[in-house]
Amino acid sequence: MSLLEINGLTQRFGGLQALSNFSFRLEERELVGLIGPNGAGKTTVFNIVSGFYKPTEGDIVFCGKRVNGLKPHVVTAMGMARTFQNIRLWNDMTVLDNIRLARYAWLDYSFWSAVLRTKKFRQSEKAIEKRSREVLEIMDLTEYAAELPKNLPYGLQRRVELARALAGNPKLLLLDEPAAGLNSADVEGLIRHIRWIYDEFKISIWMIEHQMKVVMSLCQRLAVIDFGCAIAEGTPEQIRQDPDVIKAYLGDGAL
């Protein structure tokens, strides 16, 4: 059984066909990429898989369960976490609270136990605090725990978003353009962090990214889409030499 199976995904927005019969499989412990030109449908794939959009057609199976149409928080609780192309952090909460709140979404106590502050709730709260601080430490963010994300440089905000996605111990991490807007030093740091996360957490990672340096150095396999259709799949080396990919996306001498 694959960790994630996408079969025949189609997405229409009114008259626009954003995705056409897209299929893909992702196994446990894989680090793979999704690339293609602007507007190709990459984010749409992630939005459907993570429950933000309901597909017009097609099936998504995650950990053996059909997830199409499930709400994002349900999919998250099943072990799928994501980041966004445009950073979405709670800007009026500290970095630590951003991580803590994400962690709460994973817990199985009820609203009433939180209100009544039961023993179970108090124990969970302590465990959450501990785990959140561990995640901050792993991502070299401890010194920013009390800061508001909006006061941090962009590269650090991206890292906080990554830390928040990790807070719930996901099995699959979806990263939508994690290197967007980063300077070259930050890109190097990001590559190191992603590799580290992949090695330490023993999870699968699927990333959308335009910076070829990032995908080519991290990904074991790449899928390429153009105008909503899959046009190629293979190792970075195969993709780099694929005539259809060069024509649609990479261009002559792009690499």
Residues near ligand ATP (CB under 6 A): 13, 16, 18, 36, 38-44, 85
Q: Which of 81, 83, 78, 45 is CA-nearest to residue 63?
A: 78
194 φ/ψ angles, rounded to the nearest 5 degrees: -65, -40
Residue nearest to Mg ion as judged by C-beta position: 43
For the segment 77-136, give every residue that binds Mg ion (CB under 5 A).
85
Stretch that binds Mg ion, among 39-47, 120-128, 156-164, 199-207 (CB under 5 A): 39-47
Q: Which amino acid is at 30?
A: E
- Contact present, 39 and 54 (Cβ < 8 Å): no
41 binds, options Mg ion, ligand ATP, none, Cβ within 5 to 8 A by partner type: ligand ATP
174 binds, options Mg ion, ligand ATP, none, Cβ within 5 to 8 A by partner type: none
Cβ at position 135, least distance to Mg ion in Å: 26
Cβ at position 36, least distance to ligand ATP in Å: 6
46 φ/ψ angles, rounded to the nearest 5 degrees: -65, -40
Pairwise CA distance, residues 103 & 105, whole Å = 5
33 binds, options Mg ion, ligand ATP, none, Cβ within 5 to 8 A by partner type: none
Chain centroid to Cα 40, Å, comes to: 18
Pairwise CA distance, residues 164 & 64, whole Å = 25
- Which lies closer to ligand ATP via its Cβ, residue 198 or residue 227? 227
Cβ at position 176, least distance to Mg ion in Å: 6
Cβ at position 22, least distance to ligand ATP in Å: 11
- Which lies closer to Mg ion via its Cβ, residue 39 or residue 251? 39
Query: At which residue do the structure tokens 């057609």 appear?
Result: 57
- Which lies closer to Mg ion via its Cβ, residue 93 or residue 231? 231
DSSP type of residue 106: T
Cβ at position 72, least distance to ligand ATP in Å: 14
Length of the chain: 255
Pairwise CA distance, residues 98 & 205, whole Å = 22
Cβ at position 225, least distance to Mg ion in Å: 11
Q: Which of 65, 8, 67, 35 is CA-nearest to residue 208?
A: 35
The overall longest dimension of the chain from CA atoms, in Å, is: 64
Among residues 11, 43, 47, 157, the one that binds Mg ion under rule CB under 5 A: 43
DSSP 211-223: -HHHHHHH-SEEE
16 binds, options ligand ATP, Mg ion, none, Cβ within 5 to 8 A by partner type: ligand ATP
The size of the interface with Mg ion (CB under 5 A), counted in residues, is 2
Cβ at position 34, least distance to ligand ATP in Å: 8
Residues that bind Mg ion (CB under 5 A): 43, 85
